[in-house]
């Protein structure tokens, strides 16, 4: 059977995700320069339909929706990146560590994860928002403290399975140190899962941010894809679905979609077992 070679560069899904993700990232970074108006400028005619002057029209507060969208995109992406990466890092560390050290420390770590999982995360987040009105970056880090708990169990389960695998035992037999095991076996074998975890944490963080904003729990003055949807939904009886509701929904979906795709395709690339399937 001929071995299939798999190149990310020629994978249509990966390209799609990379292009979409890249465009959104670019749009977000260049947001302040691309936006035709100041997103907080309330001097325009309220609820004006889309026109050449206002590509997506004007919202109920007199602000240009397109400029709002760019700012919201930027905010959501930054929040997601910060929370997602921090959460993934913590999850991998906790999961692998507790699989290796299956004594008291490992146990306690997993129990801590359980405890964090069992607390409805919305409560501490509401507290944070209400008590401290923290900057979004702090909220993102606080969110990461809850995000790591879920995947750490998954990583722990996988790591435990791996650790009992014969080739690991053999390596141990032959005198492999902990570091060697990590570098040569565990990390490459955990890597795909970690990527999926990153995608899921990114996705979860951006979803959380949008949901919190939609429910009115984040600073309403801060632009967010979620709050745009929330405000827009109030005017469901007017003809605003195409210019006010749809753009943030589409942007949010594309963001999450590209994050997922990138990770999935990378996983396929990295895992040699998945490559040679006949």
Among residue numbers 106 through 135, which ones bind another protein (CB under 8 A)? 107-108, 111, 114-115, 117-124, 126-127, 130-131, 133
Q: Which is nearer to another protein, 53 or 111 (CB)?
A: 111
Q: Which helix (H) or strand (E) holds 102?
A: none
DSSP 23-80: HHHHHHHHHHHH-SS-TT---SPTTPPP-SSSTT-B-TTS-BHHHHHHHHHHHHHHHH
How many amino acids of this chain bind another protein (CB under 8 A)? 87
Structure tokens at 198: 């990153």
Where in 57-76 is the site for another protein (CB under 8 A)? 60-62
Confirm or reject binding of residue 84 to another protein (CB under 8 A). Answer: no
User: What is the Cα–Cα distance from 120 to 61, expressed in whole angstroms?
Assistant: 33
Measured from the CB atom, is 89 or 124 closer to another protein?
124
Q: Which of residues 158-217 bind another protein (CB under 8 A)?
A: 158, 160-161, 163-166, 169, 172, 178, 203, 206-208, 210-211, 214-217
Closer of 70 and 202 to another protein (Cβ): 202
Q: How far is the CB of 235 from another protein (least distance, A)?
A: 7
Contact status: 274 vs another protein (CB under 8 A): yes
Q: Pick one of 80, 87, 95, 151: the residue that binds another protein (CB under 8 A).
A: 151
- Cβ-based neighbours of 154, under 8 Å, separated by 6 or more: 95, 193, 197
Q: Are 83 and 211 in contact (CB under 8 A)?
A: no
| Distance of closest approach, residue 94 Cβ to another protein, in angstroms | 14
- Report d(CA 153, CA 185) in Å as an integer: 19
In the region spanning residues 9 to 28, those forming contacts with another protein, defined by CB under 8 A, are: 13
> Could you tell me which residues are beta bridge partners of residue 58?
64
Structure tokens at 48: 């004006």
Is 29 or 260 the residue whose CB approaches another protein more closely?
260
Nearer to another protein (CB atom), residue 29 or residue 121? 121
Residue in the structure block whose two tokens are 């140190």: 177
């Amino acid at each position: 059977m001929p071995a299939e070679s798999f190149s990310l560069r020629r994978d249509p899904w990966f390209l799609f995700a990379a292009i979409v993700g890249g465009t959104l990232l670019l749009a977000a970074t260049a947001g302040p320069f691309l936006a035709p108006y100041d997103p907080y400028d309330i001097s325009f005619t309220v609820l004006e339909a889309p026109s050449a002057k206002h590509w997506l029209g004007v919202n109920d507060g007199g602000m240009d929706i397109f400029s709002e969208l760019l700012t919201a995109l930027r905010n959501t992406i930054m929040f997601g990146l910060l929370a997602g990466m921090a959460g993934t890092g913590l999850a991998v560390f906790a999961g692998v560590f507790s699989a290796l050290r299956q004594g008291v420390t490992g146990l306690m770590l997993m129990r801590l994860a359980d405890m964090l999982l069992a607390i409805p995360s919305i409560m501490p987040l509401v507290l944070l928002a209400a008590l401290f009105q923290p900057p979004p970056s702090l909220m993102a880090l606080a969110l990461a403290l809850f995000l790591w708990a879920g995947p750490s169990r998954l990583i722990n389960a996988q790591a435990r399975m791996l650790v009992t695998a014969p080739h690991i035992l053999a390596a141990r037999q032959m005198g492999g140190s902990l570091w060697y095991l990590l570098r040569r076996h565990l990390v490459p074998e955990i890597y795909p899962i970690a990527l999926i975890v990153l995608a899921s944490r990114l996705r979860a963080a951006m979803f959380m941010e949008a949901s919190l904003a939609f429910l009115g729990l984040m600073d309403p003055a801060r632009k967010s894809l979620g709050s745009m949807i929330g405000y827009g939904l109030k005017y469901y009886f007017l003809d605003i679905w195409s210019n006010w509701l749809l753009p943030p929904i589409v942007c949010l979906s594309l963001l999450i979609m590209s994050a997922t795709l990138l990770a999935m395709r990378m996983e396929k690339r990295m895992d040699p077992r998945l490559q040679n399937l006949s």
